[in-house]
Homo-oligomer: A and B are copies of this chain.
């Protein structure tokens, strides 16, 4: 299906989203933080986790009260470098941002810091948080549990969270390294894009409760389907994908609330909430940051210059394509598809916020 894109302005999009979220009752600073992180994600080309969710996911949940516009976020800390946050079902962006700032603040003093978060909601892409550490000359890590859309190896149907993680490290002259990955072969957001565009899904991503592959993104088919963990089959390493999925569940859910994601989804009052974990490591606690960042430049250069396979022109490092998009989109605008544009226009009408984003 041919999809029409409209290019919108980064700063205007942040301002628009901020005004919309304020109209739902969120304080200005929180609305701005959420919008800034959401648009950062669109800048990086992760169309599945940016403003595409503003109307259908975030505003919808703020309107029903499932997500609280003014959460009473509480923190418990049992050690100098670590803490647990209870997000009081606030918007995940606000809770995750607070957690990462807290981890960074503790890392400034102790060399590293980590904060786990319970009772929170969808926080977008993990890279929005890991990348916050880089300007502080720190390495950033963040992970989150997600909706119950993945299948545990050996189980039938949707039995595990769409858990994801990001690891980011600063460079000197080169782009920032940023791995941003789901523990499944593909993120659920990629399926949501296919639902909008009608494109077929690659074989292997999704199976039905009987284990048969689903490749047609017709909603009825997909509703029965579950996302397969990274690795795909036992022989090719699906237990590694599952293990990463559980590592994320343990760091985010068990460490924060002594529950796991499938348990959260067994109770109507906690289904669709999620959990996060944020960590920062101060590079100067290990080595001089300038040396490290020069080392990152050389790492990128070394991998770029490896002997290529036949027909391959470039070797791509995680974060490289995304950074090229950031530079382009800051200058030339962020392309949003028609469905997303329409969903933003609805918000403009509903909340009487000027549709001034082009």
Contacts and interface: CB of A to CB of B under 8 A. Distances in A.
Interface of A: 76-84, 109-114, 116, 139, 152-157, 159, 167, 169, 177, 179, 181, 185-186, 202, 204-205, 210-211, 230-232, 235-237, 239-244, 246-247, 249-251, 254-260, 262-263, 281-287, 291-292, 294-296, 298-299, 302-303, 306-310, 312, 314-318
Question: How many copies make up the complex?
Answer: 2
Residue in A81, A211, A235, A241 with the greatest tally of chain B CB atoms within 10 Å: A81
Contacts of A250: 139, 167, 169, 177, 296, 299
B287 A256 contact: yes
B258 A294 contact: yes
A236 B204 contact: yes
A315 B153 contact: yes
A159 to B, nearest CB: 5
Given A179-B244, A250-B177, A239 B185 contact: no
Given A110-B79, A154-B312, A247-B167, A254 B295 contact: yes
Q: Say whether chain A's binding surface is mostly helix, strand, loop, or mixed.
A: mixed
A47 B202 CA distance: 36
A254 B83 CA distance: 28
A152 to B, nearest CB: 6
A231 B204 CA distance: 11
A80 B109 CA distance: 8
Given A204-B236, A303-B260, A318-B239, A286 B78 contact: yes
Contacts of A77: 285
17 contacts: A81-B111, A84-B286, A114-B281, A167-B247, A185-B236, A204-B235, A204-B236, A230-B230, A230-B237, A230-B240, A232-B236, A239-B316, A246-B303, A255-B287, A255-B292, A259-B299, A260-B298
Given A156-B307, A240-B181, A282 B79 contact: yes
The 5 closest A-B pairs by CB, nearest first: A79-B111, A79-B285, A258-B295, A82-B285, A179-B243
A123 B157 CA distance: 39
B112 A284 contact: no
Contacts of A263: 298-299, 302
Residue in A79, A153, A298 with the greatest tally of chain B CB atoms within 10 Å: A79
Contacts of A237: 181, 185-186, 230
A167 B281 CA distance: 18
A315 to B, nearest CB: 4
A354 to B, nearest CB: 40
Nearest to A228: B236
B303 A152 contact: yes
A107 to B, nearest CB: 8
B79 A307 contact: no
A285 B102 CA distance: 14
A285 B241 CA distance: 28
Given A260-B298, A302-B263, A84 B179 contact: no
